[in-house]
């Protein structure tokens, strides 16, 4: 079994805006820079033969370059926040790309993802941090924005089975452009 998900990688210029946020919240488990990403579809724990089907389905997904921008901070968990994140400004092309990932997952027999797609970059796992401290942190670091960047590909990642967080391994990037373009 292998735990897989698809995501957009975060460029260095954007990560440089996220890293300074990772302080001032005692008890937070900060996400390491290499593990910053915007999840498109969590596939879960799948057998190797299903992983091959996932790769084949992902290879058929077209990617037209589009811009994306991080904006705002928030949390998941409400009265018991467990995740601190930087939001993604609404984007039609991102929603289309995510929908294609959902469709591909369903075509190969994976169960539908029942959660609403809320694009974000996780910056910390929170554990048992007081709710007031989380909201104070969000207020103190708002407004938040990072430079826009262009999405030209997405990545299939594997993750170790755990309670969240990396390390994540980039298994393959799509479209797969490992060849040199001829001039």
Q: Which of 150, 148, 142 is nearest to 72 (CA)?
A: 142
Quick one: pLDDT band at residue 160, thresholds 50, 70, 90? confident
Alpha helical stretches, state H, the chain: 12-18, 48-59, 92-107, 131-140
49 CB contacts (<8 Å, ≥6 apart)?
none
Quick one: pLDDT band at residue 176, thresholds 50, 70, 90? confident
Active site residues: 37, 120
Segment 140-168 shows an average pLDDT of 89
Which pLDDT value is given to residue 172?
Answer: 97
Partners of residue 8 on adjacent β-strands: 38
Which pLDDT value is given to residue 179?
Answer: 46
- Is a pLDDT exceeding 80 seen at residue 8? yes
User: Could you read off the pLDDT of 44-79 as tens digits, one per residue?
Assistant: 999 999 999 999 999 999 999 999 999 999 999 999
- Is a pLDDT exceeding 90 seen at residue 180? no
103 CB contacts (<8 Å, ≥6 apart)?
none
| Nearest-angstrom CA–CA distance, 54 and 121 | 23
pTM of the model: 0.93
Name the residue with tokens 């091959």.
52
| Nearest-angstrom CA–CA distance, 28 and 77 | 14
| Nearest-angstrom CA–CA distance, 5 and 36 | 13
Q: Which of 141, 165, 12 is nearest to 74 (CA)?
A: 141
Percentage helix, strand, coil for the chain under 3-state DSSP, each rounded to 5: 30, 30, 40
123's enclosing H/E stretch is strand 120-125
């Amino acid at each position: 079994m292998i735990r897989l998900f698809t995501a957009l990688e975060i460029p260095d210029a954007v990560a440089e805006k996220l890293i300074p946020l990772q302080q001032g919240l005692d008890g937070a488990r900060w996400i390491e820079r290499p593990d910053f990403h915007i999840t498109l579809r969590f596939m879960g724990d799948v057998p190797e033969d299903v992983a091959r089907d996932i790769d084949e389905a992902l290879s058929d997904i077209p990617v037209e370059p589009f811009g994306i921008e991080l904006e705002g901070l928030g949390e998941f968990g409400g009265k018991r926040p467990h995740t601190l994140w930087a939001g993604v400004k609404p984007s039609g092309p991102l929603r289309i790309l995510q929908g294609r990932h959902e469709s591909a997952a369903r075509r190969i027999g994976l169960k539908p993802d029942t959660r609403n797609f809320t694009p974000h970059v996780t910056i910390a796992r929170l554990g048992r941090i007081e709710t007031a401290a989380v909201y104070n942190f969000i207020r103190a670091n708002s407004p938040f924005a990072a430079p826009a960047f262009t999405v030209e590909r997405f990545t299939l990642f594997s993750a170790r089975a755990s309670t969240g967080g990396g390390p994540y391994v980039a298994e393959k990037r799509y479209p797969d452009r490992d060849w040199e373009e001829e001039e």
